[in-house]
Structure 1
Amino acid sequence: MERVNGRAPARGFVVMPFGRKKNAQGEEIDFDLVYRELIEPAMLAAGVEPRRADQEMRAGGIHGDMFQDLLLADLVVADLTIDNPNAYYELGVRHALRDNATVSIFSSERPFLPFDVVGERSLLYAPIRAPVDQTVVEADRAKLTQMIGATLAAWRGRKTSPVYRFLPNLEEPAWKNLKVGDITEVWERLESWQALVATAVSKQRPADILLLADETPNRFLELEAIQTAVQALLKLDSVKFALAIIERGLALDPDNLWLQQQYGIALGRAGRFHDARARLSELAERHRTGETLSLLGLTYKDHWLRLWSKAGTPPAARRQKATAAAAFLEMAIDAYAKGFRASPYDSYPGINTLTLGRLWENLTGRTSRVDLDLITQGVRWTVDCILQRCNADLRHDYWAFATRGELRLVADGDGGGALEDFAAAAAQGVVDSNRAALQSTRQQLDILLDLNFRAELVQPARALIAEAETQLSVLQGARLERPKRIVLFSGHMIDNPKERGEGEGKKPARFPATKVAAAAAAIAAHLDSIKAGPGDLALCGGACGGDLLFAEACLQRGMALEMRLPQRIPQFLHDSVTFADSDQSWVQRFDAAMHNPQTTLLIMPDEIGPTPEGERGKMYDRNNRWQLYSALSLDLDTLKFITLLDRQSIEKPGGAQHMIRRIREYTGREPLVIDPTAL
């Protein structure tokens, strides 16, 4: 089954007898017929991928698969027409593992359900016998589809399992701890997906993560996948994309505390300080956790920074304005201190209490109401514990080194010890590809420098972190400077003469070979009209026709070029270049563009994995989204769109017309359109 609105198909599991079984009256029922005529089509119509335990063909027993399906299925349909022990056992397991999303059905051949399940959401269906009365079964099928849809759409907090309904304080088990034996198919998909996200982080490509977030591997694991994507995007400081993914997660689970916290962080980092503070203040009232209180402290800190840290403000004026706004700094200190008391094992609120507290004292000349000496002892103990645990586990922790460096700098005045720790943190930040952590540390040191707090100690520490950021960019091949302008292209391939043009049964001409020179001139004219040249970046595919004409024009103007292909080169050449290449000219153009030193060639299956199963037909649309997300991740304000498109084209996924719709949908802007039939 294909995805609907970017979501993986719902995973269904059917609990029922197999084959032919007799009911209480001794009449034989063909349950495989019931499955084929009623259950399977009803589930498919509701967007649920059905599965029965007997469909598992793997060698060995089916129990592991069954337990995994009962845990991971988005929906379970249980046929209770006869008192089958296996069916009741499986239904009981489902009720114990999950608190909702179970539908019971039974034939009108039995007068009533047993007492223990009589109160559950159930469908009574007419007996199904061969030959099947399609009028009757279609009516029951429609009712079951409607019931499944209503169950899946029900509020996530609604408990339908009698186990959870009558034991209201019972919580679902942590599903990560319930992986069964060697039945790992679903888990492997998630782990493979997470590995692709980790690779995208290491390459500093937020667009790859956004595309992968469209392809979460399973609905039950979708929230876990979304959280992985959010962490990765915030790690790359790609805040706008992170906000979009967080909102998707909150639509699935509005009460998810972690997502609510990340939403507050992302709003603050996007400059929406009032929204961030309002959201986090409300969270802090309901959840007095160290993390939530710390995030509230961060919003007050950001508000304070906004009042004095404007670029170009002279040093003396900065310090004066920072002192005048010290009330916000004090509110931040208070929130961080409360966070550290709530979570004394977390050094983050503690070190912020200490650093901001000493800075407040330096600015105001007064003693903080918070006992900073006691905070210092607490942070030192916490960091020492973290570092000892890391040593025992043979691993390194960026924040432990950075925190101890800041502690030595602020509390001890130990410049040498602080530099050792910041050097270790800098190296670890590069190893972890953690640009957001390096940036956060540098910004904290910038505050101290801007306000002339122990500048002689802070300056060399800040230089270490800044150098690590540069090293990370070099290692990842990232641009040290943003492009001045980004130009995204999408357009028709050259017409295949066997399919388009004059002749019986052929489609109308769209981009005939006779229009190549005129199209190349039009593309060049559009690039000249926006003054494209060195320092700009172009993004396109590599198909014969519009893509390669655009690539050539950009390279001639000294632009950097990113050429993205949906397939590996041999298959791509066969499908998208050589079909209309009797004289080998398009292959030569492809090779010239690919090997140009200004070109970066990116092959989709190698960079972000193959197109998910069941969606092969959307490979070109996936490549279009990859290009669009890549362009959007750079800078919307300088982004330009050029398309080569005849006005009569029918929109289909992966085509230029479909790309235009996506551009409008994501940006609200209109591309420059070149109609080859009008040239």
Structure 2
Amino acid sequence: MRPHAFIAMPFGTKPGPDGTPIDFNRIYAELIQPALKLADCACFRADQELRAGDIRADMFQELLVADLVIADLTIDNPNVWYELGVRHALRARGVVLIQGPRNANPFDIYTDRKLVYALRADGTLDPALLDANRRSLAEMVKATLDTPTRRKVSPVYSLLPHLEQPQWQKLMLSEANEFSEAHAAWARLMENARQKHRPGDILLLAGETPTRALRTEALRTAGNALLKLRHHDFALEQFEAALAVEPDDLPSREKKAICLGLLGRVEETQTWVDMLTQSQPDSPEVWALAGRVARELWIRRWHPAPPTAEQDETAAPSAGPPPDSTALRAAAAEEDASLERAIEPYLTAFVADARHFYSGICALNLMLLRQHLGGTVDADALQCLIGGVRWACRSAIQSRGKTDASDYRLMASRAELALLLEPLAEVRRHFKAALATAGRDWFALDSTRQMLLLLRDLGFRPEETAAALNLLDKEQALLRAPVRPRQVFLFSGHMMDAPDRASPRFPPQMEAAAAERIAKALDSQDAGPQDLALCQAAAGGDLMFLEACVARGMHIQILLPFDEASFVENSVSQSAAPLTGDDWPMRYYAVQSRLRTPPRVMPHELGPLPRGADPYERCNLWLLDTALSWGVKKLRFITLWNGGGGDGPGGTAHMLREVKRRTGRVTWIDTRKL
């Protein structure tokens, strides 16, 4: 994703400070554009927008979301000064000032760093210094984009330290424009991928945001999807990447703490949570997070086999036979001090904001468990909490109205409240109402299920808990549990040489030896029905790999850069050699007929190819992101390659480079040695 720069400068020819005409269009074309190309930036100037509409609307949108604004202050053009002021008011950073020679600098920016480019006496760029000016501007642009986001460039935000930047989503123009349309299309694709639980799609789309202004949001979305799918280590990477872009992003800081806790990194989790509560002492979300982490730590202290991240990834949870409730109750009761530490943050969150009903329910849950385990509970405080939680939950349901009655988290919270306090009939009624709003979300149901299993293990209200668990088990039984492969095999290799290929790379006579080596690579890693295979399906290495996977009963997912007919024409049929009997199209359709899920087509799933992108490289990244979304530790990469470059972008060499950035688990079948 290339950074996006907006250029605020005069248009056409204008008199300079000494009256000499200056052609600013040439300065844009000969200095600014080439410098931005050197810095790998895309650039936009309002007068270049060819769509019908209001130039000011496009200008305001650009000043809000552009990664960088370059302002040319050679002359005192009111439009440029106005645009610079708008940017300084909207954004704390991301401004580069340039100018030609002038007698005096304006007072307001006298101390600001500026690039002064050279002009000749006739007002044209000095050719002797032009290359140096381009390089200097490119370096200044790169340095500005790389500046840590805590450093404020805008004098407005520097002098008003408590002023907060507006959220760009809340300042979208009412009139549709190029940016809003691109954002809406991107957001639809992200939401579709989220609903279908396809984190690989989300990871790829996160790198294709219309501007870097969306980068933090995209990484957060990817992290949340991976967290929900229980890929905790990979989710942590996304939140840390978001914090590298925006170190003060509170949602990413909170989710990082959750990931650390779920990964069992106890000391790091506690340190991170303590830092958050100190920096955000009035945030109910932060205190609720502290309660969640403390609760998980309490469970880990007494539960004989708390689920780990790896266990969560490899198998769908199962209730199994109930453990010895008496023994668990005794072990949990021994950890009363740890339980008390989990209750306090939830209470703090609920007191800070009574609308934070979920924190109140969590505090009530843990207080009743403490009472159940024989611990001391203040009776008056408990009754006050019960009344407060009932009121908060009822108010939340009423205020959201019928349009939001399908909010599963809200309805599940109400069902949990019934389970804690109400008769069996009410428990059944509220859990049925909650399950009706789950929208076939297996992971949301499973989150509720984990809460019920904890109560069951501790023997809390056994009849009511069993009834709720029975209803939830029946609902989950109607859904297909997410596929959780043991290993993920990713393949990339040469196509079989076409009959008229000038320089042989993978000729037909190598096929038998290559097929044997592919089979050996799979068998050496015990590939079988519990594993997932990912690749394209081009004639040659791809199809040979897929045939070997079919023979081993593996689950196969084919990802195609084009629609199936175009792919077969371009990447399968061209290698057909009737004289040698190689009928690759027939082999493709034979493999396709054995798939449990049909091939996924990139333009259909991920939208049109982004400007400047290559379809094969994009498909490589799609394959890799899909493989990595199951966890780096599961990835096994097999490549059939001669060690050289490809016939174009997006080949095996590109895939190998990308894989090696993440893992060393690579099996290289060198075609030069076959």
User: Which is further off, 579-588 or 289-298?
Assistant: 579-588
Select the residue among 111, 123, 127 that pairs with 1:119: 111
> What secondary structure is seen at the aligned counterpart in 1 of 2:416?
helix
2:430 aligned partner: 421
Q: Are positions 1:468 and 2:475 aligned together?
A: yes
- How big is the shift at 1:73? 1.5
Counterparts of 1:648 and 1:21 in 2: how far apart (Å)? 54
CA contact (8 A) 2:562 2:601 kept: yes
Letter aligned with residue 293 of structure 1: W
1:437 paired with 2:449, answer: no
Q: 2:489 aligns with which of 487, 490, 493?
A: 487
Residue identity matched to 1:593: V
* Deviation of the 1:511 alpha carbon: 0.7
Q: Is the 8 A contact 2:199 2:222 kept in 1?
A: no
Structure 1 counterpart of 2:313: none
Deviations 1:492-538 (A, max 9, x none): 11113433xxxxxx33x221012122322332333344443444432
Specify which of 599, 603, 609 is matched with residue 601 of structure 2. Answer: 603
Post-superposition offset of 1:337: 0.9
Amino acid at match of 1:149: K
The residue correspondences of 1:175-254 to structure 2 (distance < 5 A) are 175-254=168-247
CA contact (8 A) 1:234 1:436 kept: no
Tell me whether 1:447 sits opposite 2:454 in the alignment.
Answer: yes
Aligned to 1:410: 420
CA distance in 1, matches of 2:452, 2:647: 52
Q: Which whole-Å CA distance do the structure 1 matches of 2:17 and 2:536 have between them?
A: 65
Matched, 1:676 2:674: no
Instruction: Verify: 1:458 aligned to 2:453, yes or no.
Output: no
* Corresponding residue to 1:633 among 629, 643, 654: 629
SS at match of 1:453: coil
CA pair 672-173 structure 1, distance change in 2 beyond 3 A: closer
Aligned to 1:515: 510
Q: Which position in structure 2 is the counterpart of 1:544? A: 539
- 1:353 aligned residue: 363
Is the Cα contact below 8 Å between 1:390 and 1:397 reproduced in 2? no
8 Å contact from structure 1 (residues 360, 368) kept in 2 = no
Contact 1:427 1:468 in 2 (8 A): no
Give the Cα separation in 2 of the matches to 1:536 and 1:163.
56
Of 214-223 and 621-630, more deviation after overlay is shown by 621-630
- Would you say 1:646 and 2:646 are equivalent positions? no
Q: Deviation per CA, 1:247-276, whole angstroms, max 9, x where unpaired?
A: 110001112222111111111122223322
Moved more, 574-583 or 539-548: 574-583
User: What residue is the counterpart of 2:613 in the other structure?
Assistant: 615
Question: CA shift at 1:40, angstroms?
Answer: 1.6
Distance in 1, Cα, partners of 2:73 & 2:648: 44
Tell me which moved more, 305-314 or 394-403: 305-314
- Equivalence map 1:245-284=2 (5 Å): 245-284=238-277
Task: Answer with 206-215 or 362-371: which moved more.
Answer: 362-371
Shift of 1:378: 1.1
Q: Take 1:369 and 1:158, find their aligned partners in 2: how far apart are those partners?
A: 51
Partners of 2:351 and 2:85 in 1: CA distance = 43
Aligned partner of 1:291 in structure 2 is: 285
How far off is 1:554 after superposition?
A: 1.8
Counterparts of 1:123-138 in structure 2, within 5 Å, are 123-127=115-119, 133-138=126-131
Amino acid at match of 1:143: S
Aligned-residue offset at 1:455: 1.1
Looking at structure 2, the residues matched to 101 and 15 of structure 1 have their Cα atoms a distance apart, in angstroms, of 13
Q: Which segment is superposed worse, 605-614 or 382-391? A: 605-614
- The answer on whether the counterparts of 1:200 and 1:208 sit within 8 Å (CA) in structure 2 is yes
* Distance in 2 of aligned mates of 1:144 and 1:485: 48
- Provide closer, same or farther for how the CA distance between residues 96 and 665 of structure 1 changes in structure 2, counting only shifts above 3 A: closer
SS of residue paired to 2:54: coil
What SS class does the counterpart of residue 534 from structure 2 fall into? strand
Residue 410 of structure 2 is matched in structure 1 by: 400
In structure 2, distance between residues paired with 1:526 and 1:149: 44
TM superposition shift of 1:356: 0.7
Out of 98-107 and 247-256, give the one that drifted further: 98-107
| SS of aligned partner of 2:436 | helix
Aligned counterparts of 1:534 and 1:106: Cα–Cα separation in 2: 66
How much has 1:648 moved relative to structure 2? 4.6
1:318 maps to 328
User: 1:92 deviation in Å?
Assistant: 2.1
Query: Which residue of structure 2 lines up, in the alignment, with residue 525 of structure 1?
Result: 520
Alpha-carbon offset, residue 285 of structure 1? 1.7
Q: CA deviation at 1:610?
A: 3.2
Contact 1:484–1:638 at 8 Å: present in 2 too?
A: yes
Contact 2:70 2:95 in 1 (8 A): yes
Measure how far apart 1:574 and its partner are.
2.3
Alpha-carbon offset, residue 294 of structure 1: 1.4
Deviations 1:160-204 (A, max 9, x none): 223333333333333222222424322332332222222222222
Aligned mates of 2:528, 2:118 — CA distance in 1: 72
Partner of 1:565: 560
Distance 1:224 1:188, change over 3 A: farther
Asked if residue 661 in structure 1 is aligned to residue 671 in structure 2, the reply is: no
Q: Hey, what does 2:586 align to over in structure 1?
A: 588
Alpha-carbon offset, residue 287 of structure 1: 1.0
How far is 1:649 from its partner?
A: 5.1
Which residue of 50, 57, 64 corresponds with 2:57? 64
| Alpha-carbon separation, structure 2, partners of 1:106 and 1:489 | 53
Quote how far apart the aligned CAs of 1:336 are. Answer: 1.0
* Residues 1:367 and 2:362 aligned together: no
**Structure 2: gaps (5+ residues):** 306-321
Q: Is the CA contact 2:412–2:434 (under 8 Å) kept in the aligned structure 1?
A: yes
* Other structure's SS at 1:564 match: strand
Give the secondary-structure state (helix, strand or coil) at the position aligned to 2:624.
Answer: helix
Residue 140 in 1 paired to residue 133 in 2? yes
Letter in 2 for 1:580: S
Q: TM-score, normalised by structure 2?
A: 0.91
Match of 1:4 in 2: none
Deviation at 1:140, TM superposition (A): 2.0
- Find the aligned partners of 1:320 and 1:112 in 2 and give their Cα distance: 80
CA distance in 2, matches of 1:531, 1:219: 42
Paired AA for residue 643 in structure 1: T
- How far apart are 1:593 and its partner, in Å? 0.9
SS of match in other structure, 2:373: helix
Q: Distance in 2 between matches of 1:47 and 1:369?
A: 65
Change (3 A) 1:161 1:322: same
List per-residue Cα deviations over 1:318-358 (Å, max 9, x = no partner).
22211111211111011211111112111111001101101
Query: What amino acid does structure 2 have at the position aligned with 1:415?
Result: L
Task: State the Cα deviation string for residues 219-267 of structure 1 (Å, max 9, x = none).
Answer: 1221222222233332333322211110110001112222111111111
2:515 corresponds to which letter in structure 1? Answer: A
TM-superposed CA distance for 1:673, in Å, is 2.6
For 2:291 and 2:417, locate their aligned partners in 1 and report how far apart those are by CA, in whole Å.
19
Report the TM-score, using the length of structure 1 for normalisation. 0.90
- What is the CA-CA distance between 1:370 and the residue it aligns to? 7.8
1:84–1:598 distance in 2 versus 1, CA, 3 Å: closer
> Aligned equivalents of 2:671 and 2:266: distance in 1?
48
Do the aligned residues in 2 keep the contact of 1:80 with 1:105 (CA within 8 Å)? yes
The separation in 2 between residues aligned to 1:404 and 1:71, in whole angstroms, is 41
State whether residues 505 and 642 of structure 2, in contact with CA within 8 Å, keep that contact through their aligned partners in structure 1.
yes
Instruction: Give the letter aligned to residue 344 of structure 1.
Output: A
